[in-house]
A and B are shown apart, each in its own frame.
Chain A
Amino acid sequence: MAEAMAESYNRDSEPTTRTLLRRVLDTADTLTPRRRRSARVSAQKALLETPSSRRLSSPTKMNVRRRSHRARSIGRLAHVHTSGNLEEQTPRTLLKNILLTAPESSVMMPESVVKPVPTPQVVQSSRRESSRGSLELQLPELEPPTTLALGLLAPGRRKQRQRLSVFQQGMDQGLPLSQEPRGNGSASSLTSSLNLTFATPLQPQSAQRPGLARRPPTRRAVDVGAFLQDLRDTSLALASPGDSLRTPVATLPTDTVLEDTQPFSQPLIGRSPSVYHSLPCLSHTEAEDAKRAVSHRTQSSGPRLQNHNPGKPTQLLAGKAKKVDALAVSFPNNSSAVSGEDGVEPLQDGVGEEAEERMEESLSVSKVVATTGTQGSVRMEKSKGHREMTEAAEAKEPEGSSGASLELASSTTEFLQARRPQFLEPAPPPSAAVLSSEPLEPLSTRLPPRARTPGPRPRQDPHKTGLSHYVKLFSFYAKMPMEKAALEMVEKCLDKYFQHLCDDLEVFAAHAGRKTVRPEDLELLMRRQGLVNDQVSLHVLVERHLPLEYRQLLIPCAFSGNSVFPAQ
Chain B
Amino acid sequence: MAFSTTVSQRKHIKRKAPRGFLKRVFKRQKPHLRLETSGDLLVHLNCLLFVRRLAEESRMNAFESKCGVIKKEHVQAAAKLFFSPTQPELRGMKENC
Q: Are A516 and B36 in contact (CB under 8 A)?
A: yes
Partner of B51, one of A474, A479, A488, A489: A474
Question: Among the interface residues B37, B86, B97, which one has the most CB atoms of the partner chain A within 10 A?
Answer: B97
Give chain B residues whose Cβ lies under 8 Å from the Cβ of A529.
46, 89-90, 93
Q: Give the segment of A104-112, A221-229, A499-507 that binds chain B.
A: A499-507
Q: Are B30 and A549 in contact (CB under 8 A)?
A: no
CB within 8 Å of A: which B16-48 residues: 16-18, 21-22, 24-26, 29-30, 32-39, 41-48
Q: Are B41 and A546 in contact (CB under 8 A)?
A: yes
Q: A480-B69, A541-B45, A559-B2 are in contact. Are A522 and B39 (CB under 8 A)?
A: yes
- Name the residue of chain A whose CB is nearest to the CB of B37: A553
Q: Are B69 and A552 in contact (CB under 8 A)?
A: no
Q: Are B21 and A501 in contact (CB under 8 A)?
A: no
Is A563 close to B, CB under 8 A?
yes
Give chain B residues whose Cβ lies under 8 Å from the Cβ of A518.
36, 39
Is A35 close to B, CB under 8 A?
no
- Name the residue of chain A whose CB is nearest to the CB of B93: A530
A385 and B96 alpha carbons, distance in the complex (Å): 55
A550 to chain B, nearest CB (A): 5
Is A43 close to B, CB under 8 A?
no
Q: Give the segment of A73-81, A145-153, A287-295, A463-471 that binds chain B.
A: A463-471
Question: Among the interface residues B13, B72, B86, B89, which one has the most CB atoms of the partner chain A within 10 A?
Answer: B72
B43 to chain A, nearest CB (A): 7
Partner of A473, one of B30, B39, B48: B48
CB within 8 Å of B: which A492-550 residues: 493-494, 496-503, 505-506, 509, 515-519, 521-523, 525-526, 528-531, 533, 535-536, 538, 541-542, 545-547, 549-550
- Name the residue of chain B whose CB is nearest to the CB of A526: B46
Q: Are B79 and A489 in contact (CB under 8 A)?
A: yes
Partner of A545, one of B37, B38, B45: B45
- Name the residue of chain A whose CB is nearest to the CB of B63: A480
Q: Are A462 and B26 in contact (CB under 8 A)?
A: no
Give chain A residues whose Cβ lies under 8 Å from the Cβ of B21.
462-463, 465-466, 469
Give chain A residues whose Cβ lies under 8 Å from the Cβ of B5.
553, 566
Chain B contact patch, size range: 35 or more
Q: Are B13 and A549 in contact (CB under 8 A)?
A: yes
Binary A-proximity of B67-85 (CB < 8 A = 1, otherwise 0): 0111110111001001100
A491 and B77 alpha carbons, distance in the complex (Å): 15
Partner of A477, one of B35, B43, B51: B51
B4 to chain A, nearest CB (A): 9
Give chain A residues whose Cβ lies under 8 Å from the Cβ of B37.
553
| B-side interface mostly | helix
Binary B-proximity of A447-466 (CB < 8 A = 1, otherwise 0): 00000000000000011011
- Name the residue of chain A whose CB is nearest to the CB of B14: A547
Q: Are A500 and B3 in contact (CB under 8 A)?
A: no
Is A554 close to B, CB under 8 A?
yes
A541 and B52 alpha carbons, distance in the complex (Å): 13
B26 to chain A, nearest CB (A): 6
Q: Are B94 and A477 in contact (CB under 8 A)?
A: no
Is A481 close to B, CB under 8 A?
yes
A523 and B5 alpha carbons, distance in the complex (Å): 21
A364 and B39 alpha carbons, distance in the complex (Å): 42
Q: Are A483 and B71 in contact (CB under 8 A)?
A: yes
Q: Are B38 and A565 in contact (CB under 8 A)?
A: no
Is A490 close to B, CB under 8 A?
yes
Partner of B18, one of A466, A506, A536: A466
Give chain B residues whose Cβ lies under 8 Å from the Cβ of A56.
none
Q: Are B97 and A530 in contact (CB under 8 A)?
A: yes
Q: Are B49 and A531 in contact (CB under 8 A)?
A: yes
Q: A469-B18, A554-B41 are in contact. Are A477 and B52 (CB under 8 A)?
A: yes
- Name the residue of chain A whose CB is nearest to the CB of B19: A550
Is A1 close to B, CB under 8 A?
no
Q: Are A563 and B97 in contact (CB under 8 A)?
A: no
- Name the residue of chain A whose CB is nearest to the CB of B57: A478
Q: Are A480 and B48 in contact (CB under 8 A)?
A: no
Partner of A483, one of B15, B48, B59, B72: B72
Partner of A462, one of B24, B72, B94: B24
Q: A522-B46, A545-B49, A559-B1 are in contact. Are A480 and B59 (CB under 8 A)?
A: yes
B72 to chain A, nearest CB (A): 4
Give chain A residues whose Cβ lies under 8 Å from the Cβ of B89.
529-530
Is A28 close to B, CB under 8 A?
no
Partner of B68, one of A481, A522, A531, A536: A481
A210 to chain B, nearest CB (A): 33
A501 and B83 alpha carbons, distance in the complex (Å): 11
Q: A497-B82, A541-B45, A545-B48 are in contact. Are A502 and B30 (CB under 8 A)?
A: yes
- Name the residue of chain B whose CB is nearest to the CB of A559: B2
A552 and B51 alpha carbons, distance in the complex (Å): 23
Q: List 18 A-B contacts (CB under 8 A).
A: A466-B22, A469-B18, A477-B51, A480-B70, A486-B70, A486-B74, A496-B79, A497-B50, A505-B30, A516-B34, A530-B90, A531-B49, A542-B42, A546-B17, A546-B45, A550-B17, A554-B42, A563-B2
Interface residues of A (CB under 8 A from B): 462-463, 465-466, 469-470, 473-483, 485-486, 488-490, 493-494, 496-503, 505-506, 509, 515-519, 521-523, 525-526, 528-531, 533, 535-536, 538, 541-542, 545-547, 549-550, 552-554, 559-560, 563, 565-566
New contact pairs (6) apart from A490-B54, A515-B33, A529-B93, CB-CB < 8 Å: A480-B62, A486-B58, A493-B75, A498-B29, A530-B90, A530-B94
Interface residues of B (CB under 8 A from A): 1-3, 5, 7, 11, 13-18, 21-22, 24-26, 29-30, 32-39, 41-52, 54-56, 58-59, 62, 68-72, 74-76, 79, 82-83, 86, 89-90, 93-94, 97
